[in-house]
Amino acid sequence: MKRKVEPKQPLQPPPPSAVVAPEILDPAKFYALDTRPKKTFKCRVCGGDGATEQSESLCWVCRRLKISAWRDSEQQMTMSE
């Protein structure tokens, strides 16, 4: 005896209000959809865009190079001692 095959019903997504609370969703939409221009600086080493005041006016590439060079010089000083 075979079982009766029931037709599969498509899954219905839950209503958006049930997934994320409105007090979290509203500020998130504000920051994600913010169209105000962001304040950017030119990198003082290479002149590329994307530098910020907190990154010492360096773009992410120059900042990573600076950190790598700093680590290398620190390792060389410990070897020579």
Confirm whether 53 is domain-assigned: yes
What is the DSSP annotation of 13-59? PPPHHHHS-HHHHHHHHHHHT--SPPP-B--TTT--S-B-TTTTT--
Domain carrying residue 60: 38-81
Note the pTM of the prediction, 2 decimals: 0.45
Confirm whether 73 is domain-assigned: yes
Confirm whether 66 is domain-assigned: yes
Confirm whether 58 is domain-assigned: yes
Domain count, the chain: 1
pLDDT tens digits, one per residue of 11-46: 777 666 567 777 888 888 888 887 777 777 788 888
Confirm whether 15 is domain-assigned: no
Confirm whether 79 is domain-assigned: yes
Question: What pLDDT score was predicted for residue 79?
Answer: 61
